[in-house]
A and B are shown apart, each in its own frame.
Chain A
Amino acid sequence: MSRSVSGLSTRHRRQAVNAVLQAAVLGYRHRNSIGYTQGGLRWQGIDRHRDASRGQFPNYADCSAFATWCYWNGLRLRARHSDIINGERWRAGFTGTMMEHGVRVSSLIPGDAVIYGTGYPGEHVAIYTGGGLVVSHGSSAGPLLLPVRYRSDVLQYRRYI
């Protein structure tokens, strides 16, 4: 039987991915309440234990902090998993550390990350939700549901769960 990237069982993997997507969609629904910053407040979602299953979301984040918060909901809160996204014990990270973890894949399934840019360490990251769409928090517009190729510089797809 094949194992998931995260080592989770089929059932737990499905639950974790669902939680990641739930967090991403919650962010999109509340995009007007989620500001964009690359300062220390960007880790607010994890620091303040904002649980998407309870309707909680961060008020500030940047792209990698928002993506990490989504994965934290699925991996840490649902599966009690260690930080396999950035390898920083859920306390830090950016696209560069995200590119150093997980596995690169050639096709997307929901819950994967899409990295944008022209090379390491990448410039942007979004969560793939299925249907050719991502939730991307890249600006003051807040997390947006967008086509994967809304940017032309798709660098790679990565799978963590």
Chain B
Amino acid sequence: MPSSSQVSIGPSSVLGWLAAAAGFVTSTVQSLEHGGALVSGPGKWPAILGVVALAATNAGRQFQAAHLTKAATIAADVAAVPDALQALAAEAQANVAAAQATPDGVDNDQVAFAHDVS
């Protein structure tokens, strides 16, 4: 997947890191007080929830990155469409003479437009 430079530190990532930090701090303090491990004892749920929140917000960032990358490359994707036309560039130059020989009609014919809508 192409990377996107448009994804930076945003509210979701800040919330994720804060949630994870809060969970770990709570867990650490409680484990020190009670002598338990980080993912066991009374502080395990804040710690686990913090890790889950971190994973979820980072998954969201990856999703956002994929969409932003897609939007940023619309023009490039579409620009690739008319490759076949590029081979006709020489024809286009030759057509200029034909266009000059039969000039464009003026397309501001209000009478024709009124006919269309009547």
Nearest-CB residue, chain A, relative to B100 = A150
Q: B113–A94 contact, CB under 8 A? A: yes
Contact A14 B78 (CB under 8 A): yes
Give A25's nearest chain B residue, CB to CB.
B85
How many A-B residue pairs have C-beta atoms within 8 angstroms? Tell me. Answer: 141
B70 at the binding interface (Cβ < 8 Å) = yes
Q: Is the C-beta of B112 less than 8 angstroms from some C-beta in chain A?
A: yes
Q: Are B104 and A138 in contact (CB under 8 A)?
A: yes
Give the distance in Å from the alpha carbon of A66 to the alpha carbon of B101 in the complex.
20
Q: Flag whether A151 is at the interface (Cβ < 8 A).
A: yes
Q: Is the CB of A136 within 8 A of B107?
A: no
Instruction: Please indicate the chain B residues that have their CB under 8 angstroms from the CB of A14 in the complex.
Output: 74, 77-78, 81
A92 touching B103 by the CB < 8 A rule? no
Query: With A39-B112, A147-B96 in contact, do A64 and B107 touch (Cβ < 8 Å)?
Result: yes
Is B93 an interface residue when CB atoms closer than 8 A count as contact? Answer: yes
Q: Which of A95, A136, A144 interacts with B108 by CB under 8 Å?
A: A95
Known contacts A18-B81, A109-B75; is A123 also within 8 Å of B113 by CB?
A: no
Across-interface contacts of B117 in A (CB, < 8 A): 88, 91-92
What total of chain B residues lie within 8 Å of the partner, measured CB to CB?
38
Query: Do B95 and A139 have beta carbons less than 8 Å apart?
Result: no
Contact indicator B77/A94 (Cβ below 8 Å): no
Contact A122 B107 (CB under 8 A): yes
**Docked-complex contact A1 and B108, CB < 8 angstroms:** no
Asked if A138 and B108 make an inter-chain contact with CB atoms under 8 angstroms apart, the answer reads no
> Is the Cβ of B99 less than 8 Å from the Cβ of A139?
yes
The verdict on A13 contacting B109 (CB below 8 Å), with A130-B81, A144-B95, A145-B92 known, is no
CB distance from B76 to the nearest CB of A (A): 9
Q: A residues within 8 Å of B by Cβ?
A: 1-2, 4, 10, 13-14, 17-18, 21, 25, 36, 38-40, 42-43, 62-64, 88, 91-97, 109-111, 116-117, 121-125, 129-133, 136, 138-141, 144-147, 150-151
20 residue pairs of the A-B complex, CB under 8 angstroms, read: A1-B71, A10-B74, A13-B78, A14-B81, A21-B85, A38-B109, A94-B107, A94-B109, A94-B110, A110-B82, A122-B108, A123-B107, A124-B104, A130-B82, A130-B85, A138-B99, A139-B104, A145-B88, A145-B95, A147-B93
